[in-house]
Amino acid sequence: MATINFGGVLEDVVTREEFPMEKAREVLKNETIAIIGYGVQGPGQALNLKDNGFNVIIGQRKGSKTWDKAIADGWVPGQTLFEIEEAAQKGTIIQFLLSDAGQITLWPTLKQHLTPGKALYFSHGFGITYKEQTGIIPPADVDVILVAPKGSGTSLRRLFLAGQGLNSSFAIFQDATGKARDRVVALGIGVGSGYLFQTDFKKEVFSDLTGERGTLMGCIQGIFAAQYEVLRKNGHSPSEAFNETVEELTQSLMPLVAENGMDWMYANCSTTAQRGALDWWKKFKAATQPVFEELYASVAAGKEAERSIASNSQADYREKLNEELKELRESEMWQAGAAVRKLRPNNA
């Protein structure tokens, strides 16, 4: 572990320098990694592991869209692509990468293949943390581990192909074999992590659910919509409102923040922009912090998990989801966004 100073707080992390790919391959040389689920995280993690030289197989329902996607990605039926039960039987490490609702449904089938010494791997702490609601209680004689890339599987794959990495958290819920730590760190390196920081299953899911509903997705859409509507009500065109609300942030300013931090981004903007940002950021913090406190309390109380399970388990979930996404997609702001994207050089 390398000790890094994070804003005055010392934290131990695992880097590729101290745990290189060669070591990861050595740790997992006799393992068969079975990826169960080929939706959000599955493709990126599976392809990165395969390209890094690990023994990977995929478990999917034959004839499903994701089965066909796996074939299109180069997985071969009967060799590296199998029905879920067969892949789970063959795997010594089972990466359970279905949606939270999908994990609940498949759990009675999957647990039959968790024989002693295997490892059960998650990329989200939901199923284990809310076990009273999910029913996911692993047997005592398997390792239970987690690697959670801090981004989508698409981002994980894109950064890998660009020679970069996406930072990930890792956790050990159960070490039955004495090898859980080496296994989980090797897998974290293998899937393409930039560096790994340790957490536990509960903290991972609490931070993840807060982040998704907060600054990563829910909050950002809310503040986009609010600013866009204020500009439009005051006579600004859709193009101007969208560019000042979304395009400049995502295409110009956020890359500067990612490069060197918010202070550096401020320092590289006009003095007028600097003054306004410094004057107003604390007002936005004061306005939104009560919402974040309410959100975290809801996550910690299990209310967000309860709502997710109830909603996502309904037979018509996909239809309802598509209707809600349609509302976003067909809003004037995101219609303007589609037009703006087409006008970028090379449609970037």
Q: Angle formed by the axes of helices 201-213 and 218-233, to 10°?
A: 10
The answer to whether 132 is annotated as binding is no
**Residue 210 corresponds to which tokens in the numbers above?**
């807060």
Residue (of 253, 224, 237, 151) closest to 194 by Cα position? 151
Alpha-carbon span 265 to 252, nearest angstrom? 10
Q: Angle formed by the axes of helices 332-343 and 218-233, to 10°?
A: 90
The answer to whether 192 touches 11, Cβ cutoff 8 Å, is: no
The answer to whether 248 is annotated as binding is yes
Element (H, E) at 285: helix 271-300
Q: Annotated catalytic sites, by residue? A: 124
166: CB partners within 8 A, 6+ apart: 149, 150, 151, 155, 156, 159, 160, 192, 193, 194
**Residue 319 corresponds to which tokens in the numbers above?**
């239809």
The answer to whether 212 is annotated as binding is yes
The answer to whether 332 is annotated as binding is no
Identity at 150, one-letter amino acid code: K
Measured in Å, how far apart are the chain's first and last C-alpha atoms?
A: 39
The answer to whether 330 is annotated as binding is no
Alpha-carbon span 257 to 110, nearest angstrom? 43
Annotated binding site for substrate: 270
Which residues are known binding-site members for Mg(2+)? 208, 212, 244, 248
Q: Which residues are annotated as a binding site?
A: 208, 212, 244, 248, 270
